[in-house]
Amino acid sequence: MASDDLWSSLPCIIIAQILRFLNFRDRLNASTVCKRWRNCLYCPADWPQVSLTFKNNEQSERSNFLVKNFGHFLNDIEVCFDSTSAQCISSVLNLMKRACINRKLRRLVLKPSSGHVEWRSLSDSQRFVQLLQKTFANCKKLEHVSLGLCQDFTDHADSILCILKTSQSTSLESLHIASIKEDPDSYNICEIVARDFEPFSKLRCVSLDYDHISNELLRGFIDNRKVYLETLVINIHGVDPDKEWITEQTWRDLSGHCTELEVTLNLVHSYDGVNNLLDILQLSLPLVHFRMIFCGAGINVPAIFALGEQYSKSLQSVYIIDGMVDWQPNMYPCPNEDCFVMLAWRCDQLRQFTLIGYSMIDLNILAIPTLRPQLVIYDIPECCIALSADDEDSEDSNHGNVISVQDLQPKVSLHLSHSMKRPWYPISDEDLHRSIIDENYDAESAYLDVLLADQLS
């Protein structure tokens, strides 16, 4: 009884201070003890950042509770949701109704499960965009916006930019309005021009579709003496034959103005992007990360050689993934030296290398981490390892003992583990994403998290 009297006599500010020592989940449980504790816990300082997940019933129930009680004062909201579920979409709509009256919001990150939302009706789609716009207009100091690569939202990037440049020009630091296209060969392009970015004074991270990148737009960042970009992510889909190429002079001037700038190129389902890659890769482009994702155009070998030659001091990661037919890896020409081995030889900053869906002989697989033992990520599927001519002509083969990739794989793993000073194994067949071997399977789930990670900073 005395203990109960002690707790009931404590001022709310003392209870709140004690409960702050609890972790997130325990604080959530503590809020269900009694009404007084719940009121003590409903303090904005205790809930600066919350990740909301609307995917299964348990996750949605927890997130709906958080939205109801904290949605109107959270500083930082990340929303991960199943964009094919009517129930989850309805929950996110309810969240946005709370968020649009939250003047404390500083960071909003949308993370849908797909680049397209399966709305119950057109009115739901329109309502969501209206709530987004209202949220951005009402915030006092919004710093970070990510539309989650979702075409349903990025199709309205022009109107959203108009609101942001009016109400958030002095606070916004990160703006991510790049997309992935449901049909990369046919899609609408909203109008985004250089003057849309003129009012911003603190922008440092931007992601855009290549359709919106122009010499004029990039020169706008050069002319804006208050803005010094640090990160520019460019998603390439189709390439209009009439579109102007970004010139070497523009990249040189931009790099001179934004001396810390790092560029990421994502070619997503971009047949045109692969074929025009040499025109895109200008010498002064400060390229750090390069990705080719389900482009279906094969490897542009001259362009890969250019990557190594032009970005030997900046390139840190190469990520290439494509589908296979009947478990048969795609081939790429290798007349003399392998283009990827030469890239590894030249690029002394290389930390990540992923090649999925393309055949590579074992000697070249061994060569890359031998040249770059500092690789943090080195992903090659087991089914993509091919035997070199030396293996086929080895003494065992000459004596009638057929050497298979399965026989060779332990030797490759052992050699690479020694070079990288840690255990290394190829990706097993069982661990390959289904879309790599089944062209009818949704490929977005194979790479969406990789691209969304660009939008967190």
274-333: pLDDT as tens digits: 999 999 999 999 999 999 999 998 999 999 999 999 999 999 999 999 999 999 999 999
The pair of structure tokens assigned to 144 is 């970070």
Percentage of the chain modeled with pLDDT above 90 = 64
Residue 305: CA atoms inside 13 Å, Cβ hemisphere, count? 11
pLDDT of residue 424: 86
40: pLDDT strictly greater than 80:
no
Cα–Cα distance between 121 and 310 in angstroms, integer? Answer: 49
Quote the pLDDT of residue 399: 40
**How confident is residue 21, by pLDDT bands cut at 50, 70 and 90?**
confident
Per-residue pLDDT at 284? 97
Across 38-130, where does the E strand assignment appear?
Answer: 49-54, 76-81, 107-112
pLDDT for the residue 98 = 86
Query: Cα(first)–Cα(last) distance of the chain, in Å?
Result: 51
Write out pLDDT tens, residues 209-241: 999 999 999 999 998 888 899 999 999 999 999
Mean pLDDT of 14-23: 73
φ, ψ for residue 334, nearest 5 deg: -145, 70
Above 60 in pLDDT, residue 403? no
The separation between CA 291 and the C-alpha centre of its own chain, rounded to angstroms, equals: 11
Which residues lie below 8 Å from residue 401, measured CB to CB, with a gap of 6+? none
Average of per-residue pLDDT values in the chain: 87
pLDDT at 402: 40
CA dist list (Å): 402 to 14, 38, 146, 337, 398: 76, 71, 54, 27, 9
Q: Mean pLDDT across the stretch 80-109?
A: 91
Predicted TM-score of the model (pTM) = 0.88
Write out pLDDT tens, residues 249-281: 999 999 999 999 999 999 999 999 999 999 999
In this structure, are residues 113 and 89 in contact, taking their beta carbons and an 8 Å threshold? Answer: no
- Both tokens assigned to 203: 């922008």
Q: Are strands 317-321 and 262-268 parallel, antiparallel or unpaired?
A: unpaired
Per-residue pLDDT, 17: 73
Q: What is the pLDDT of residue 397?
A: 42
DSSP secondary structure of 228-278: --SEEEEEE----TTSPPPPHHHHHHHHHHSTT-EEEEEEES-HHHHHTHH
Residue 162 has a pLDDT of 95
**Residue 43 confidence (pLDDT) above 70:** no
14 has a pLDDT exceeding 80: no
- Contact, 267 vs 292, CB < 8 A? yes
Task: In whole angstroms, give the CA distance from residue 452 to residue 80.
Answer: 11
* Mean pLDDT, residues 88-94: 91
Between 413 and 125, the more confident residue is: 125
